[in-house]
Structures are given as structure tokens and as C-alpha cells.
Amino acid sequence: RIEPKPAAMLRRLLLRQARRRHCSSSFSSALPLSSPTFAVFGANTGVGKTLVSAGLAASLLRSHAASPSAVLYLKPLQTGFPADSDAGFLYRRVPALVRPSHAAHLVASIDTLSPAPSVETPSSSREEAAFSYDGEGKAVRKLLACRTLYAWREAVSPHLAAEREGMTVEDAHVRSLLAACLSEGENLGKGEGDVWKLVETAGGVASPGPSGTLQCDLYRHFRLPTILVGDGRLGGISGTLSAYETLLLRGYDVSAVILEDCGLSNDKFLLSYLRNRVPVLVLPPIPEDPSDDLTDWFSESSSVFGLLEDALRSFHLKRIQRLNSMQRKSKDLLWWPFTQHNLVPVDCVTVIDSRCGESFSAYKVKDNKMMMIPQFDACASWWTQGPDSKLQIELARDMGYAAARYGHVMFPENAHEPALRCAELLLGGIGKDWASRVYYSDNGSTAIEIALKMAFRKFSLDRGILLDSDKSITNERNIQLKVLALKGSYHGDTLGAMEAQAPSAYTSFLQQPWYSGRGLFLDPPTVFIRNGTCALSLPQSIQNCHLSPGDKCFPSLADVFCKSRDSSAAADLYSTYISQQLSEYSVSSNIEHIAALIIEPVIQGAGGMHMIDPLFQRVLVHECRDRKIPVIFDEVFTGFWRLGVESASELLGCLPDVACYAKLMTGGIVPLAATVTTEAVFEAFKSDSKLTALLHGHSYTAHAMGCSAAVKAIQWFRDPSTNSNLDFDRMKLKELWDGTLVNQLSSLPNVKRVVSLGTLCAIELQAEGSDAGYASLYARSLIQQLREEDDIYVRPLGNVIYLMCGPCTTRDVCTEQLSKVYHRISHFNPIH
């Protein structure tokens, strides 16, 4: 037929939708779940993927029921076109295979959306044909739509065809066009029944796409349930299992394995090996005669395709049932941290199906439609996340290798390669020129507890509290060691770590009845952006009218970190204040000693994303150095590029004696922490007695999976070939947040301050009284809008909203998310 105008318009519409999705910096296409959608992967090329797609489509359309009313077959990548067209095969053969026993009317269509210039195609690339089938009852309407998205002439791998024929296609283009087709496919049934969608890949599971990306990685953003077409030939067991495990490593669900019977009983071995986890179906031998139209073969195989259809229906139904039950079950069974359950309605529970790079895939029901919706993880899952989709796969692979090689092995007196290599990278990176020892633990709070023990021992030895000969204790009962820390700081949830922070909501009697606050807590000056200007805010305890405007306002954030400020009036003011506080404290008690300084360098995280004046912290470190007080940097949050540099000490311009790292150290894929320290601190624990050793640890210290992940993440973030955000000459991240947009945000009347540094952009909303602070629900409606309407998963700190990306997140993605936040805040009108 001649292509009707509506069909031509549809093709243009799909291409326009794909371009719009591509222009969107992040992959943000909602995937409909109301109807079953499956990817068809092959263990290799030539194993019969298209025969399986055709047989399954025919089985589905043969049904007497109104549902499914349509089958959408999508071939994203086709080479050897048009002589070889898998969509063409289904278009030509499926109508002849349907042969229903009841009256039916089938409309079949075929379309090619983006053929390469080298492909010779007719003026109209779309065809349509109608078929009527006699039988009993009222005729049931069915639809078969076959679409090829990208096509090349030469019958080679897509990456070669794209290169040779001058039509390279970016991964984002392929995904965007596929997403548009899947979304539009929901309309094929016209509300009369389900639309089954089949996405058939090209070649094998790990065959390259047009950009060279493996297809199992190219389509991972969708995480479609998979039909794996196995290989029944000699050597096919190995190929099928390799394909199966490749898919599992990337987080795919394999819903069924189906393969040809080549007389080698491959299916029986696969069924036994897979332990019935996945249905394994076997097809009759495929005739080798090229003149055979396969009609008899399809007829003989119809019962197998019926079983495949049943298995897929069952898989889809169980998946939907589980997803629909998770909100209620989570409310009934789980106890979430930092969450008041009474404030979380059942329908506000976010059901996360998977993660790919910077985004969750969240299950939502909108307008009675079940959807899988990508949500940008704007809190970086409590500040842990850094991987893009490529690093995520690399981390999974390296962790799998470590688990298979080591399982878990105990650490004391032992060594294994991942722990040793990770230590080398830590000491050559964040610990370069100052640290010589790495002490592993399991999380940031534990790392802090270890750091405190280290610092206290060093202080005690330096002050003669311990005797050098055997480090025995003198006047033990009369000694109280305390910390010097900053108000608003947060160093973890364990009891010792909480003692090292100032009173707050986290340390109240409700939360920690044992809390006493073992320290001197100073009120620090902060820096923020307001009305497009970097401003310094002094606490009441160190207010001084003698500071010039140049000491309180800065042209840019770079000026805040400038070392020339060390000779400014502000530096003198800070030094006087700190000295006075320390002197007053030492005079007030003879038995209490400030034995360690502990700070979050530059940014206080859980305390509200406050930027502490780096000059104040630098002066503080120098004052403690003069008094031989060991210095601890808590870089659990700030370390590994979170603030744009590998270590926040680079921003401060001074070094600690002990530093703690976690979260981003492993790329956020698994817990691991490290307390890094100097040789002098290590020496404070050495003697001939085991009792003077550092008696702290946990069962999984330096576990191989975590150390392997850390090795990969550390190397990935600091390599410009894998991290395009890295300015290698300066070893800093490029600016990720649009400066103009940040200034516009800071100028909104309902914004109190903005902090933008590295991967962090935090916005504090103007609020007073109970509307301000950690317990505030002031921004609740705004958070819901960002989550539900803008697909940004935001978790605020009271009236502080923040966005956090990874070190590899592109500036375009950051700008897109920040633009959405700016739009929402500019229209924000809280309702009490």
C-alpha cells in the first residue's frame, strides 16, 4: 500500500520525540509496565532470535481473547538491510502463522525509521497489509507492528557498519528512539487489550552497538525482562551460560531460556545447571534447507511457543504483583533510619526497582498506569554515590571477581592484593606527602571511633600521660580526654562518635540518653552565596565591627580559599577567638585535656550543608599544631571529589594527623572505610605488649570486595579518560553547577543561602521558628513536587534542599536538575 499520511506523521513524531529525549541531558523516559515488554537476547548470532520472536508473536496473536490486541516488534539495530530484515521476516511470516480457530482481523505494518544513506529504500519505507480469518464468533481485531529503528546495508556488526557507511549513532540516540517507540506502542491496542512489546537485539549479548558499547550495556537503562535464545550446537552450553551470567552481572532478569534441539541435550544440562531458576524450553531442529519456508517447523513448534507465552505471562504477573505489594509490605515490615513512619503515607513510599548510573528506576502508578520512571538520585543515596552507568558495571565485575577469588578472608596478620593495592592508592592520593598507614573498617562512624583512639593515644604519649617504656597509664582515674570540635558538626551514629559532636537533634536524650558531649565546641563562621555574592557570616561569639567589606564579601568562591587571607584581619580575629577559648578551657580544669581536634573540612554535611570559612579551619589547625593537639579530618562526606578535589585538605591548604574516608571511596557500591594516619601516630601503638595495640576491628575488616571496588573507583575518578569532568592539569573537577543559575537561585526572595561546591549544590529556604531546622516539614510539598512531577529524588535536611551528583556526572545533567529545582522554588508557596 501507499503509506497513509497518518503513518508518515507518526514516524516523524517518533523521531521528534527521540530528539527531545536526547536533548534532555539525563535519560528520563518512563517505561510503561501495564503491558508485558521483553528483550530478546541471543547467546550468539545465528541462534534463531528472529524465529523465536516470530513464533511468540504468532502465538500471542492467535489467542481468541481480545488481549493481547497487538504485538509491537522492535529491531533497534539492523545490518545487511534491506536484504536481511528481521522486521520484514515477521511482517511477511507471522500473518500466515496465526491461523486462529476463530474469526479474526489482523492489520500488519512494517516501518524503517532511520536507514543509513547507503541503504536503498523505496520512497515509502512503510507498508501495511490486512488479513481476515474465517471462524466462529465475532471477529477479534489484532495488530502487528514491526519497526526497524536504525539500518545499515553491510551485513557486519553494527559498530563496523556505522563506521564504514558514515552513519554513527550515539547510545543516547538509540535509547531515546527506542523509548519513544515503547511509549507510543501503548497506544496500538486502542484500549482494547494488552500490547506486547518485543525488542530484539542484534548478534549476541555482548555484541557491540553502533558506538562500540556492548548491547547488554546499551539497553541496561531499560532493564527489560529478557528472553535468552540459547545455542543448541556443540559448544552452545558454554556460550549460553556465558550470555546468561553476563546478563545477570548487569542486573537483568532472565525470564526464560529457549534453544534449538541439535541432538546434544544442551537443554537438559542447562536446566540442571540453572537448578530450575529459569524455564528452559527446547525447539525442534530447524531445517537447513534454505528453500524451506519453515511453515511445518513453526507448526511443530507452536506448543513450545505456547509454553514460552505462559512462562512470560507468569513472570510479568508475578513481577507486577510484587511491585504493587511493596509499599504496604515495607510499611508493615521495615524500620527506616532517620524516618518518622507516621509522616510517610503508604503511597509516598518509593519502590526502587533498580539503579543505572545517577538514577533510580522507581515503580509508580500514575493515572491508573503502571510505570517504571527514572528518578535522579539528588541525595546520592546519602552521599555515597559516584558511578555513572559504565563505572557501575565495572564495579560489579570487579566485586564479582573478588567474591569468587577470595570470598571473605580475615585480615589481622594477613595480606591480600585488593587491600594492599587500595592502601597504595590511598597513600599515593589523599594521603600523599603526609600519611603512611591505612586502618580499614566498615563505615564512616567506625572510622571516626578509630581516629579518636589514635589521636588520644598520640596525645597521651606526647603529654607524658603514658610512659614511653611500656605505655602504662599514670593517674588513669584523674584523666579525661576531650575533643575540640565545631557546633553543627556530625561525625556518625555510634556512641563514641556522637560524644565528639555538639548537642543537636541527633544527640538529644530521645536519641542518645548516654550523651554528655565530651568536648569544647566552637561556633564557626560560615560562607554562602546570597543575591549572587559570596558572603561571610560571623557567629555572635566572634562578631567584630572592624572587619572591612573586603573581609566579609568575596568576588568569587576562589577568593574564599585564597591563602593570602592568612594575613588578613579575619585571620587575626579567628586566632584571638580560638586562643581565648582554648586558654579559658585549660584554666577551668586540670584533669580535662583537649586531646584531639576533629572537623569536617569545608562542608558540614548532616548539620545542614554549611560551608565553614576555610580560613577559620586553617587557623584552628595551626593553633592545635602549636599545642600538640592531634588533628582529625572527618572526610567521610567530603572526600574523594565530593567537593571538587580528591581531598578537602587541598582546599584548606593544611594537613591532618588522621583522616577518615568512606562513602565515595568504593564508588558507593558497598560499605568500606579507612582511617589514614601518619607514622608518628602508628608508632604510638607499638610495643612488645599486645595490650598496647589498637584493639578495634570487625569481622569484615578490609573485605576483598570492598577493597576491589575502592581500587576501581579511586582510579576511575582520577583518570581523565574515564572522568571527563577532571581538569587533569589542576587535578580538580570542572565546574558542574551553572554559575548563573546558582546566582539566580540565591537571589530568590524565599532562599536564605546557597552553597555550591564540587558535586554539591545546597539551598536553604527562608524559614523561621519551627519551620527551620532539621525537624522542619516546611518544604514537604516542594519535595513531593520534585519527586512526583520532576523525577528528582530529593531528601532534605529540614528546610535545606540539596542536589548531589557524582564526580562523573555531566554538567548538562546538573544544569537540567538545577533548572527544575529553580523553577519549583521560584513558585514555592508553602501551605501550613
Percent of the chain with pLDDT over 70: 94
pLDDT digits (tens, 9 = 90+) for 694-714: 999 999 999 999 999 999 999
pLDDT band per the 50, 70, 90 thresholds, residue 28:
low
Rg (CA), the chain: 31
pLDDT band per the 50, 70, 90 thresholds, residue 68:
confident
Q: What is the pTM of this model?
A: 0.93
What pLDDT does residue 468 have?
56
What pLDDT does residue 354 have?
96
C-alpha cell at 567: 594575613
Mean pLDDT of the chain: 93
pLDDT of 22 above 70: no
What pLDDT does residue 30 have?
86
Compute the average pLDDT of residues 202-221. Answer: 97
Cβ neighbours around 824 below 10 Å, total: 20
What pLDDT does residue 508 have?
93
**Bigger pLDDT: 425 vs 104:** 425
pLDDT band per the 50, 70, 90 thresholds, residue 8:
low
What pLDDT does residue 137 have?
80
Instruction: Tell me the angle at which helices 86-98 and 295-333 cross, rounded to the nearest 10 degrees.
Output: 100
pLDDT band per the 50, 70, 90 thresholds, residue 664:
very high
Pick the CATH number of 735-827 from 3.40.1390.30, 1.10.10.10, 3.10.20.30, 3.90.1150.10: 3.90.1150.10
CA separation for the pair 44, 231 (Å, rounded): 7
What pLDDT does residue 136 have?
83
C-alpha cell at 328: 504496604
Residue 32, φ and ψ in degrees, nearest 5: -65, 140
Q: Concatenate the DSSP letters of all residues of 522-575 into one string.
A: E---EEEEETTEEEEE--GGG--TT--HHHHEESSHHHHT-GGGGGSHHHHHHH
pLDDT of 19 above 80: no
| Domains in the chain: boundaries | 35-323, 339-387, 390-466+481-726, 735-827
Surface-to-core class of residue 687, CB atoms within 10 Å of its CB (0-12 exposed, 13-18 middle, 19+ buried): middle
Cα separations in angstroms, 51 against 83, 287, 621 = 17, 12, 71
Q: Concatenate the DSSP letters of all residues of 31-62 into one string.
A: EE-SS-EEEEEESSTTS-HHHHHHHHHHHHHT
What pLDDT does residue 11 have?
62
Q: If you average pLDDT over each of 123-132, 396-405, 539-548, which comes out highest? A: 396-405
Compute the average pLDDT of residues 464-469. Answer: 70
What pLDDT does residue 636 have?
98
pLDDT band per the 50, 70, 90 thresholds, residue 791:
very high
CA separation for the pair 536, 554 (Å, rounded): 8
CA torsion angle 246 319 389 348 (round to 10): -160
What residues pair up with 66 in beta bridges, in sequence order? none
What pLDDT does residue 766 have?
95
Compute the average pLDDT of residues 600-621. Answer: 97
According to DSSP, residue 748 is labeled: S
What pLDDT does residue 401 have?
97
CA separation for the pair 443, 493 (Å, rounded): 10
What pLDDT does residue 831 have?
64
**What is the CATH code of the structural domain delimited by 35-323?**
3.40.50.300
Find the range with the poorest average confidence among 222-236, 287-301, 737-751, 801-815: 287-301
pLDDT digits (tens, 9 = 90+) for 511-525: 999 999 999 999 999
pLDDT band per the 50, 70, 90 thresholds, residue 331:
very high
Q: 390-466+481-726 has which fold?
A: Aspartate Aminotransferase; domain 2 (3.40.640)
What pLDDT does residue 276 have?
80
Compute the average pLDDT of residues 268-288. Answer: 94
What pLDDT does residue 212 have?
97
What pLDDT does residue 4 have?
44
Cβ neighbours around 690 below 10 Å, total: 7
What residues pair up with 405 in beta bridges, in sequence order? none
For the chain, helix, strand, coil in percent to 5 are 40, 20, 40
pLDDT band per the 50, 70, 90 thresholds, residue 3:
very low
pLDDT digits (tens, 9 = 90+) for 97-152: 998 878 889 999 999 999 999 998 765 678 999 999 988 888 889 999 999 999 99
What pLDDT does residue 591 have?
81
Q: Concatenate the DSSP letters of all residues of 400-437 into one string.
A: HHHHHHHS----TT---HHHHHHHHHHHHTTTTTT--E
pLDDT band per the 50, 70, 90 thresholds, residue 465:
confident
**Bigger pLDDT: 109 vs 547:** 109
What pLDDT does residue 314 have?
96
Secondary structure of residue 492 in the 3-state scheme: coil
